[in-house]
C-alpha cells in the first residue's frame, strides 16, 4: 500500500488515452498496487496483470549464455538445456581446466623427439580420466549443493544422471578430440584413448549403482591410472603403448563397455536416491 495517489486529472487523461506511453506505464504500475486509485478509474485488471507479467518475465527471465546457447542451437529443447548447464562440469571453469591439462600434454608431446613418445603415452593415459572426473561431478553430493532438493523432484534419478553424464562426457571428449588432433605422429593413436574414456565413464555410472558416483568414478579412474602406470613401468620402450592401446586392448575395452552398459541398463533405477539399494 502507498500513501501517494494519482491525481484526478492524470487519471482522467489516462482513462481517455491522452497520456504518452511512459506515463501510461507509470499509472499502470501504480494501479496494480493501489485499490483506492483502481476504484476511481475504469481499468481491465486482467489485461493489466497480463501486460505486466510479460514485462516482468522479459526483465527477469534467464538469458542463455555459453554452453546453454550452444545446446539450444544444437536442437535441444529449452528446458533440457537449462537442466544440463546447471552441471558444474559444463561451466567454463571446468572446461578451461580440462583444456589446460590437455594443452600441456600436447605441448609436451610436441617438444623434442626424446620426450615425445613418453608425452604421447602420458596423454593417452590421462585423457580417458578427464571425462570420468567430469562424470563424477555431474550429479549428487558433494559437487551439487542442491542435490537434496533435486532428489525430491520428479526429474531425479537415472534420467537426469544419464543426461548430465552424457553431456559432460561429450564436452570433455570434444576438448580431448581437438587436443588429440594436435598430437605429433600419425594415425589412429590420436583416437586410441576414446574407448578407454567411454569405458571409464560408463563403468563409473555402473559402479554408481552400488556406491556414490564420485566414489565410483574415483575408484575406476584411480584403478585405470594405477593399471596403465604399472604396465608402462613393466613393459620396455614403446611397447607399453601397444599393450595398453593396441588392437587387442581396444577389443577388450569395447567388450567391457558393452558389459558395463548392460549392467547400467539393468541397475539404472538404483541411481535414484529414493530407491533401496
Partner 1 sequence: MITIRISDLGKRYGATTALDSLNLQIGLGVTGLLGPNGAGKTTLLRCLATALAPDAGRLSILGLDPFVAAQRTQLRRRLGYLPQDPGLYPNFTAYDLLDYIAVLKELTDRQRRQAEVRRVLAEVGLADRAKTKVRKLSGGMRQRLGLAQALLGEPDLLILDEPTVGLDPEQRMLFRALISRLGETRTVLLSTHQTEDVSALCERVVVLSGGRSVFDGTPRELAELASGKVWLSAGPAPTGVYWRNAEGEYRTLGDRPVQGEPTPPSIEDGYLTLMGSDAAGVVR
x-marked contacts with partner 1 along 202-231 as a string, rule CB under 8 A: ------------------------------
Nearer to partner 1, 23 or 65 (CB): 65
Dist. CA 151–CA 274, nearest whole Å: 8
Binding flag, residue 1, partner 1 (CB under 8 A)? no
Calculate the CA dihedral of residues 146, 152, 154, 156 and round it to 10 degrees. 50
Secondary structure of residue 63 in the 3-state scheme: coil
- Map the footprint of partner 1 across residues 256-275, applying CB under 8 A: 269, 272-275
Closest distance between partner 1 and the C-beta of residue 46, in Å?
13
Dist. CA 111–CA 225, nearest whole Å: 24
x-marked contacts with partner 1 along 98-137 as a string, rule CB under 8 A: ----------------------------------------
Binding flag, residue 42, partner 1 (CB under 8 A)? no
Judge whether 179 and 102 are in contact, CB under 8 Å.
yes
H-run or E-run covering 167: helix 158-181
| Of positions 4, 17, 39, 79, contacts partner 1 by CB under 8 A | 79
| Of positions 9, 44, 46, 59, contacts partner 1 by CB under 8 A | 59
Dist. CA 245–CA 239, nearest whole Å: 10
| Residue 65: DSSP 8-state | -
CA dist 267 → 164, 244, 256 (Å):
18, 29, 16
Dist. CA 81–CA 78, nearest whole Å: 5
Count of residues binding partner 1 (CB under 8 A)?
35
Binding flag, residue 153, partner 1 (CB under 8 A)? yes
Binding flag, residue 46, partner 1 (CB under 8 A)? no
| Of positions 145, 185, 238, 262, contacts partner 1 by CB under 8 A | 145
| Of positions 6, 156, 198, 206, contacts partner 1 by CB under 8 A | 156
Grid coordinates belonging to 219: 575408484
Binding flag, residue 61, partner 1 (CB under 8 A)? yes
Nearer to partner 1, 35 or 154 (CB): 154
Which range binds partner 1 by CB under 8 A, 76-84, 99-107, 191-199, 248-256? 76-84
Nearer to partner 1, 241 or 268 (CB): 268
Q: What one-character-per-residue DSSP string does 211-264 give?
A: S-HHHHHHHHHHHHHHHHHHHHHHS-TTHHHHHHHSHHHHHHHHHHHHHHHHHH
Binding flag, residue 146, partner 1 (CB under 8 A)? yes
Grid coordinates belonging to 192: 586410441
Dist. CA 98–CA 176, nearest whole Å: 8
| Of positions 1, 114, 152, 233, contacts partner 1 by CB under 8 A | 152
What residues make contact with partner 1 under the rule CB under 8 A? 53, 56-57, 59-62, 77-79, 82-83, 86, 144-157, 160, 269, 272-277
Amino acid at each position: 500500500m502507498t500513501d501517494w495517489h494519482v491525481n484526478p486529472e492524470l487519471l482522467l487523461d489516462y482513462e481517455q488515452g491522452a497520456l504518452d506511453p511512459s506515463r501510461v506505464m507509470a499509472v499502470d504500475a501504480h494501479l496494480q498496487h493501489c485499490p483506492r486509485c483502481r476504484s476511481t478509474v475504469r481499468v481491465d485488471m486482467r489485461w493489466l496483470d497480463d501486460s505486466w507479467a510479460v514485462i516482468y518475465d522479459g526483465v527477469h527471465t534467464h538469458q542463455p549464455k555459453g554452453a546453454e546457447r550452444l545446446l539450444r542451437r544444437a536442437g535441444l529443447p529449452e528446458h533440457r538445456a537449462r537442466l544440463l548447464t546447471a552441471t558444474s562440469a559444463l561451466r567454463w571453469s571446468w572446461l578451461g581446466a580440462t583444456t589446460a591439462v590437455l594443452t600441456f600434454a600436447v605441448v609436451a608431446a610436441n617438444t623434442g623427439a626424446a620426450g615425445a613418445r613418453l608425452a604421447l603415452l602420458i596423454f593417452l593415459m590421462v585423457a580417458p580420466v578427464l571425462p570420468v572426473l567430469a562424470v563424477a561431478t555431474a550429479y549428487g553430493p558433494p559437487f551439487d549443493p542442491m542435490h537434496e532438493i533435486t532428489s525430491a523432484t520428479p526429474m531425479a534419478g537415472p534420467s537426469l544422471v544419464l543426461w548430465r553424464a552424457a553431456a559432460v562426457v561429450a564436452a570433455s571428449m570434444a576438448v580431448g578430440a581437438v587436443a588429440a588432433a594436435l598430437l605429433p605422429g600419425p594415425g589412429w593413436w590420436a583416437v586410441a584413448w576414446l574407448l578407454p574414456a567411454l569405458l571409464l565413464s560408463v563403468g563409473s555410472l555402473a559402479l554408481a549403482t552400488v556406491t556414490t558416483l564420485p566414489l565410483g568414478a574415483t575408484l575406476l579412474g584411480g584403478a585405470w591410472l594405477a593399471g596403465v602406470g604399472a604396465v608402462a613401468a613393466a613393459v620396455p620402450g614403446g611397447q607399453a603403448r601397444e599393450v595398453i592401446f593396441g588392437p587387442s586392448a581396444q577389443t577388450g575395452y569395447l567388450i567391457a563397455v558393452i558389459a558395463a552398459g548392460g549392467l547400467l541398463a539393468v541397475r539404472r533405477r538404483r541411481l535414484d536416491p529414493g530407491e533401496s539399494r
